[in-house]
Structure 1
Amino acid sequence: MTEELSRVDSAVAGLSISPKDEKPAAKEDKKEEKKTHRRGSSTAGEVRNINDLEKEKIPLELPIETQRLGWKLNTSPSTIEDKEYLKLPLVKPLVKKIDLQFPSGLEVTARNLKGVTIKDALDAIYKQYKKKADDELGDKPYLAGFEWDPEESWTRLIVHQKKDAGVPTGGKKSKKKNAE
């Protein structure tokens, strides 16, 4: 019984150990795929970190459209008539998050991994003010716009407020003015 077997089974005859060698190679391919795969939804190529922009001293550009919204801080941003304005980026170059500071000292952060839009900023503000009554908003309940002051803070926008909406709401008044 100590003799070596001389017969080869036909079921395994001619097969080499190569199938075992192929499996580790397949595992390596999967590892390479995982390393290179990135979620497209959570990262966008041109979206930057605000701190990187500060290090590189890249200035921010703000859209003028934020001054034309006539939006009351304790109303939903969905009530704004010009929905196209909401899709615009809040700053250029696009950033993932930015702080918004009110004159009262309140600070909110607007976030969007694809680039902060005007709607993201208004949503962040609305979240803070939605439960406040009109008389609690003070004498300036409407958004007047945003200001970027790199000397004060590179990574923060200053929120300006105003007393009235400043947007014509009735069509009759504007027609009378145009007729005159």
Structure 2
Amino acid sequence: MTEPLTRIDSAVAGLSISPKDEKTETKPEKKTEKKDKGHKRVSSTANGVKNINDLEKDQIPIEIAIETQKLGWKLNTSPGLLEDKEALSKFLVTPPVKKIDLHFPLGLEVTARNLKGVTIKDGLDAIYKQFKKKADDELGDKPVLAGFEWDPEESWTKLIVHQKKEGAPPPSKKSKKKGGEDK
């Protein structure tokens, strides 16, 4: 039993380590610099962006952006096609969070994530990812986003997704589509 210990001791105190010591002297300096900066993912998090679970612990209420009710967005169309680009860049909830679950009444749940704060576009992208391959008739009788609801009594960390029958895009688009179908 003493032999393995001496081998380990000799490896630690031996000559073979002195060249490694020179190499490790430069490496730990780099490592300590990285430690001072923090973990890579932590540094990519924007200031003021919270974890939804921390908000629940501290009982901090969240507010949903009102712009989500005005989009008139169909669940199987790309959020990039929406005209209101400014609304897409706004935070989905205040205070901004890193991730939030979006719960549909029939049980589907998607998660929107963004380390710099979940935006409306992030929420729509998460929903679109689930519905992009569905045809219009597969979406059911309510294919348009009506908005989100936060019910802290049901779940502090989830938003309930509400849907409606018709969207509210500008009338010119609807009339063009209807006109194109009639012709």
TM normalised by structure 1 equals 0.77
Shift of 1:99: 0.3
| Residues 104-129 of structure 1: CA deviation (Å, up to 9, x unaligned) | 11100001111100000000000000
| Residues 141-175 of structure 1: CA deviation (Å, up to 9, x unaligned) | 0000000000000000000000001233229x9xx
Name the counterpart of 1:12.
Answer: none
Q: Distance in 2 between matches of 1:133 and 1:27?
A: 56
Aligned runs of 1:57-136 on 2, under 5 Å?
57-136=59-138
When Rg is computed on C-alpha atoms for both structures, the one with the higher figure is: 1
The AA in structure 2 aligned to 1:156 is K
The AA in structure 1 aligned to 2:126 is A
How many percent identity over aligned positions? 72
Name the counterpart of 1:30.
Answer: 30
TM normalised by structure 2 equals 0.76
The AA in structure 1 aligned to 2:117 is G
Contact 2:37 2:43 in 1 (8 A): no
SS at the partner of 2:93?
A: coil
SS at the partner of 2:105?
A: coil
Name the counterpart of 2:161.
Answer: 159
Structure 2: give runs of 5+ residues left out of the alignment: 1-21, 176-183
Q: Cα distance 1:80–1:136, how it changes in 2: closer, same or farther (>3 A)?
A: same
Q: Size of the alignment, in residue pairs?
A: 152
Whichever structure has more helix as a proportion of its residues is 2
Q: Distance in 2 between matches of 1:151 and 1:167?
A: 33
Report which stretch shifted further, 38-47 or 78-87. 38-47
Q: Distance in 2 between matches of 1:72 and 1:149?
A: 24
Contact 2:101 2:109 in 1 (8 A): yes
Name the counterpart of 2:44.
Answer: 42
Report which stretch shifted further, 160-169 or 113-122. 160-169
Q: Cα distance 1:23–1:105, how it changes in 2: closer, same or farther (>3 A)?
A: closer
Shift of 1:64: 0.6
SS at the partner of 1:170?
A: helix
Name the counterpart of 2:171.
Answer: 169
